[in-house]
Each structure stands twice: as C-alpha cells, then as structure tokens.
C-alpha cells in the first residue's frame, strides 16, 4: 500500500513519535512525503507553533531523522499530474493548498493501492463539498489524523499511545481534547471518532501462525 502524506499529518505523527506505528497499523508499505517537509527551517517554525510553549528540539530532531528515511514523492508522479484535468479541478478550490492539490491529483490519477493521509479538516471539507463525485469515488482512500490515531490505539493499546502523545498533545486540537486531564480508552475513542471527518480505518493485525 502506498501512503501519500501531507505535511500536516507527517509533522504531527513525528511530533507524537508515532510515525512508524502509524505506517504499520495502516498497512502502508511505501510511504511518501511532500518535498516541503525537507526544510528543517520550515519544520522548526511549524513544530514550534504546534507545540506552543514546549521545547521543540526533541520533536524536531525526531522529525529530521524520519525525513531522512521517508522518500519524497517521485518527480515523475508530480510532473505527470500538472497537465491532468484533476489537477486543474483542484487548483481554484479554497481550502486546498498546493501540496494537498498535488497529493489529491496523484490519488485521482491512480487510486488503486494508494491512500492519502491528511491532517487538515479544511482540505477534507473542501474536497467533499466542491468535488462530491470525486469524493464518493475516493473518500474511502482518504485518511485523517484522527483515523490514524484510532488505528494506532487499536493496534498498540491506549496506554502505549497516551504515553507517547500526552506531552505533545497540543500539536493537534482533536488530540488535545481527546487526551485531556483524565482520559480513558473509551473517552479517547469517542472523542477522536466524533472529530474524524473521514472513514474509520481498521488497523492491520499481525497474523500469528501456530505450528503443531
């Protein structure tokens, strides 16, 4: 499965130290990121904004390590979609930025075996409202940050997830509310499901083979 990660969800997963867990829980074998995430200066600015008063250095170091392991979208994929009708359809829609436009056009061009992961509810809303037929066809292949968190929690357990995210919960508004003062697994799931603008994703569970 190919995963097309927008900048927002990529940085949030890195902040939460749950990048590898997300990829595994969602069954993504080939993740790709936007070129914009290669800039340490830009990442520092965004992560500092996300984490507010918290020291961003640990999260930034972790992000840059992951940047070096995850490839950027292939140039040929990007070049191919510039002349595509789908790219033009997305170009004038408020709420869809340049990176999301590229990722969505790539998904539209070849949806089989691909998912688009977005941490931006404005993108999801703009896509759904302005291109309803496209959304009906592809909505099942678009995964939100909330759906990522729910898949990770189901795969690894609430205690594991809470330990990772509690200190950096301000990186995302939904996450901050879901892991408030005294969260439980049940309240976390209810909160994230209520904030989720996309479908719920069933996590990939390892198959254990018993040999007698």
Query: How far apart are the C-alpha atoms of 154 and 90, rounded to whole Å?
Result: 34
**Does any domain span residue 107?**
yes
Phi-psi category of 30—alpha, beta or left, where left has phi over 0 and alpha has psi -120 to 50?
beta
**Does any domain span residue 74?**
yes
Q: pLDDT tens across 117-146, in order? A: 998 999 999 999 999 999 999 989 999 999
**Does any domain span residue 206?**
no
pLDDT band at 153 (very low <50, low <70, confident <90, very high): very high
Cα 81 to chain centroid, rounded: 21
For residue 168, the 8-state DSSP code is G
- Look up the pTM and report it: 0.90
Domain count, the chain: 1
What percent of the chain shows pLDDT beyond 90? 82
**Does any domain span residue 200?**
no
For residue 106, what are the domain limits?
Answer: 2-195
Q: Quick one: pLDDT at residue 59?
A: 94
**Does any domain span residue 12?**
yes
Alpha carbon distances (Å) from 139 to 35, 73, 78, 200: 24, 21, 21, 11
**Does any domain span residue 211?**
no
Q: pLDDT tens across 156-210, in order? A: 999 999 999 999 999 999 999 999 878 899 999 999 999 998 876 666 555 333 3
Query: How far apart are the C-alpha atoms of 174 and 179, rounded to whole Å?
Result: 9
**Does any domain span residue 204?**
no
**Does any domain span residue 118?**
yes
Q: Which tokens hold the place of 74? A: 């292939």
The 3-state DSSP class for residue 98 equals helix
């Amino acid at each position: 499965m190919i995963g097309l990660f927008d900048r927002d969800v990529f940085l949030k997963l890195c902040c939460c130290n749950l990048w590898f867990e997300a990829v595994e829980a969602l069954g993504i074998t080939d993740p790709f990121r936007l070129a914009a995430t290669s800039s340490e200066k830009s990442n520092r600015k965004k992560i500092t904004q996300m984490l507010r008063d918290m020291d961003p250095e640990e999260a930034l170091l972790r992000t840059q390590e992951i940047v070096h392991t995850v490839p950027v979208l292939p140039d040929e994929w990007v070049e191919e979609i510039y002349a595509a009708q789908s790219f033009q359809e997305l170009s004038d829609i408020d709420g869809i930025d340049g990176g999301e436009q590229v990722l969505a056009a790539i998904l539209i061009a070849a949806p089989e075996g691909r998912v688009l992961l977005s941490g931006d509810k404005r993108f999801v809303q703009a896509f759904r409202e302005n291109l309803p037929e496209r959304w009906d066809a592809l909505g099942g292949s678009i995964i939100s940050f909330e759906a990522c968190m729910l898949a990770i929690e189901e795969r690894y357990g609430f205690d594991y997830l809470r330990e990772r995210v509690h200190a950096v919960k301000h990186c995302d508004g939904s996450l901050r509310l879901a892991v408030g003062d005294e969260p439980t697994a049940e309240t976390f799931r209810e909160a994230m499901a209520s904030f989720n603008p996309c479908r719920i994703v069933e996590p990939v569970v390892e198959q254990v083979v018993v040999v007698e």
